[in-house]
Structure 1
Amino acid sequence: MRSKVPKYVQIAEILKRRIANGNYMSQSFPGGPKLVAEFGVNYRTVRQAFQLLLDEGLLVRGENERLVQPGGAGRTPFKVAFVSSGYCCPADKWLLAVREAARKYRCMFCRVVFDTTDDAILYETLDGDFDLIFLSVGTPDGLLLDKIRQKKEKVVLLFADMSAEGIPFFDGIGNEACALIVRHLARRNCRKIDFFSVMQTPEFYTARRDVWEKTLKELNCTGEAYCVMGNVEEERFVQAHRLAAGFLKQGAFREADGVFCSDVEAAQGLLRAFADAGIRVPEEIQVASFGAPELAAMFIPSITVIRTPPLAPLAAELFEHFLGITPQPGRLRFNFDYRKFTEDELIMQGESTWKNEGGVP
């Protein structure tokens, strides 16, 4: 079926998305002849598309009437890249927060996607003409870590705190907030609270397990940890389901009245394994997790989780620091202190735990 939208409008929309994704950050904006050949249209159609972009201020006429992206009078635009695996969807709240902050401060923005941490695109991006690079690669090591150390004046790591090495760090709520979830379960009459995790970066999940273990001791509760290294080539919730089912066949979780999962994918797989085994949640066992409230709310039962406060204010602080608007010398960590929030602000109550304290539905 032919589209009723004029071709010049379709071309303009494609170019807008390319500009928003930073496709032309490291190359000149394409001229008319190139776009005529690319889209199979005549030059008049391309000129109409250009006029739409000029009218919206997405392009300006530079030297020799050549179309260029506006960078502001007398200055080179600040170039920002967000680098993550393909697992990060376009609606990811971290990606959205960085992209919106880049727009707010009139920075050029580019999203870079990689498959593995061996990809050349990671090293090329670090060597590229970027002023600020948000990098989501787990906990880097080896040659990649060496490269990040060399470029640390323009790199911000997401979720991996290496601020002790002078590398800036951007995160939401730290792992210390796991204590809130463990206490949440304990207040609902859980005395044996197990821990379940399918790990891909051990340091990340070990930190959450350590908080779980410490909090159990403080509450005089008990629990067992079930942690397995995952396969990066398989969806983690699928792995979690298979591994949890295997643990259940061996008698795991049978004496527990609560389980804290390291993340929502682990909780999703565990809930499916419980359902397959005829174990009712929360009637027989309660389940809670960390992060991804948007995803946690979609399951049946919905999962009780720690959620991250709105990221826009924190992203703004970070941009203003690097842009020199309100620099904060010596600051390397940009994350929330969970102690400044109430439990109601941080815990999203799902159907996987009792809504009131005392364990009575």
Structure 2
Amino acid sequence: MRGPRLQDVAERAGVSMKTVSNVVRNYAHVSPQMRERVQRAIDELGYKPNVMARRLATGRTGLIALAFADVGIPYFAELARVASRAAQSYGYRVLLEETDATLDGERALMASSEAGLVDGMLFQPSAMSSSEIAQHRSDIPIVLLGETPAPLTIDRVMIDNVAAAREITRHMIEPGRRRIAFVGHEARALSETSRQRILGYQEALQDAGITPDPGLLVATDSVSAADAVDAVRRALDDGLDADGIVCRDDLAALGTLRALQERGIRVPLDVAVTGWDDTRLSAVTFPSLTTVSPDLPALVGRALELLIERIEGYDGVGRHEIVPHRIVTRESAPAAST
């Protein structure tokens, strides 16, 4: 006995088959009332979409690529987890691609994106310029993630890194800290991520009447906790005098905590420390880590919506959108007493 078909759901709900298809594919532009009406019919009939038949009919693979620098970086690991779960609601699976944050790696990714393996790609570039991305001609839609400048022709979703850096630095200033260092930016080529976060850090200091001190910028050789340990050790040996440390990311904060604890410097009594990304590790460090928390579900959800619209045929100019963030206050940098 055959199971219920899409046509049966349409008849039960009193709508067109196209409307049912839009609900099944979680298409954004369906009213809540219509979505509820169709979903009720789906539940009553026990309808299950024939994914293979849909792929054969549309010529789509049912795969979306998620490309970024390194899955070993906790933020990207969590991004992949959120994206994998969110893509399932659209009937897609996620294929991970690593670029090692190199120009060659990103160019190779863009060159191979036309191979027909995936229907679209979410890509967080680290090295490619906006102009080079704009010149790329791909057979698949691409939505960019993150801070790297994006072409006007391509969609991009990010948080406001400059604003978030201002907020986390103000959080350090409000209890009265005045010697606030920044740890974790690249020692050689400064990434756009680091540039924006240092800019917000500097603006917050200037707003508070504090002259930014280049001697309080502590660079690392790479984005890793181990390199942050080494960098902060060297800075302390060179006489680093800080009562607060804003870290570029949670990995830099982990290394910073280790280096301070080795020297018997108490956190937060002697020096407050903040991170960035609110990875799972940040809640279980000792002390637990105050950090910038990007709204990953919102970031990934909006990026997927834009990508699905591109896959469905939208061909307009790029949409550049900002999603929320918040400061999560924990033990390493308590809020000012009121």
Q: Give the TM-score of the pair, scaled to structure 2.
A: 0.71
Task: Describe the SS at the equivalent of 1:127.
Answer: coil
| Residues in 2 aligned to 1:91 and 1:270: alpha-carbon distance in whole angstroms | 21
Measured after TM superposition, the shift of residue 124 of structure 1 is: 5.0
Report SS of the residue matched to 2:136: helix
Structure 1 residue 322 displacement after superposition = 3.3
1:319: how far off?
A: 2.9
Distance 1:334 1:242, change over 3 A: same
Structure 2 residue runs of 5 or longer lacking an equivalent are 1-47
1:208 match: 197
Amino acid at match of 1:290: W
- Is the Cα contact below 8 Å between 1:264 and 1:289 reproduced in 2? yes
1:230-268 deviation line (CA, Å, top 9, x unaligned): 24xxx611011011101101101x2x2211111111111
Quick check: 1:279 aligned with 2:279?
no
8 Å Cα contact 2:247-2:275 kept in structure 1: yes
Distance 1:244 1:107 in 2: 43
1:242 alignment partner in structure 2: 230
**CA drift at 1:330:** 3.6
CA contact (8 A) 1:194 1:223 kept: no
Letter in 2 for 1:267: A
Match of 1:261 in 2: 247
Q: Are 1:102 and 2:87 an aligned pair?
A: yes
1:112 to partner: Cα distance: 2.5
> Whole-Å Cα distance in 2 between the matches of residues 239 and 166 of structure 1?
37
Aligned residues with identical type, % of pairs: 20
SS state at 1:279 partner: coil
Alignment of structure 1 residues 56-205 onto 2, 5 Å: 69-71=52-54, 74-77=57-60, 78-84=62-68, 85-88=70-73, 92-115=77-100, 117=102, 118-119=104-105, 122-129=109-116, 130-141=118-129, 145=132, 149-151=136-138, 154-199=141-186, 201-205=190-194
CA deviation vs aligned residue, 1:186-227 (integer Å, no higher than 9, x gap)? 111112212122427532212111111111010113453324
Q: Structure 2 CA distance, aligned partners of 1:89 and 1:237?
A: 11
Contact 1:291/1:306 (8 A) holds in 2: yes
* Greater Cα offset, 203-212 or 123-132: 123-132
Describe the shift of the 1:70–1:94 C-alpha distance in structure 2 as closer, same or farther (beyond 3 A). Answer: farther
Decide whether the 8 Å contact of 2:142 with 2:154 is kept in 1.
yes
C-alpha distance 79-204 of structure 1, shift in aligned 2 (>3 A): same
Q: Larger RCO: Structure 1 or Structure 2 (Cα < 8 Å, ≥ 6 residues apart)? A: 2
Answer yes or no: is 1:318 the counterpart of 2:318.
Answer: no
Distance 1:190 1:221, change over 3 A: same
Q: How far apart, in 2, do the equivalents of 1:155 and 1:83 lie?
A: 10
User: In 2, are the aligned partners of 1:86 and 1:115 still within 8 Å (CA)?
Assistant: no
User: How far has the Cα of 1:328 moved from its partner?
Assistant: 9.7
Secondary structure in 2 matching 1:319: helix
Opposite residue 76 of structure 1, the aligned amino acid is G
Q: Would the aligned equivalents of 1:193 and 1:221 in 2 still touch at CA under 8 Å?
A: no
Q: Does the Cα contact within 8 Å between 1:168 and 1:333 map onto a contact in 2?
A: yes
CA 183–349 in structure 1, closer or farther in 2 if over 3 Å, else same: same
Deviation of residue 72 (structure 1)? 5.0
Post-superposition Cα deviations, 1:309-356, rounded to whole Å, max 9, x if no partner, equal: 251x44333333333379695442233155xxxxxxx11112112344
Q: What do you get for the CA RMSD once the two structures are aligned?
A: 3.4
**73-82 or 291-300, larger mean C-alpha shift:** 73-82
How many residues are treated as equivalent by the alignment? 281
CA displacement 1:83-122 (0-9 Å, x = unmatched): 2334256983321232223211123532223446334862
| CA gap 1:310/1:79 in 2 versus in 1, 3 angstroms | closer
Q: Determine which of 300, 304, 308 is the counterpart of 2:294.
A: 308
Q: Distance in 2 between matches of 1:167 and 1:152?
A: 13
Deviation at 1:153, TM superposition (A): 6.7
The offset of 1:156, in angstroms, is 2.0
Residues 314 and 332 of structure 1: is their aligned pair in 2 closer, same or farther, counting only changes over 3 Å? same
Write the distance in 2 (CA, Å) between the matches of 1:298 and 1:70: 46
CA deviation string 1:72-91 (max 9, x = no partner): 57323354111233425698
1:20-50 CA distance string (max 9 Å, x none):
xxxxxxxxxxxxxxxxxxxxxxxxxxxxxxx
**Alpha carbons of structure 1 residues 331 and 135: separation in structure 2 relative to 1, 3 Å:** closer
Return 5+ residue gaps in structure 1 as ranges.
Answer: 1-56, 61-68, 339-345
Picking from 273, 278, 286, the partner of 1:292 is: 278
TM-score, reference length from structure 1: 0.67
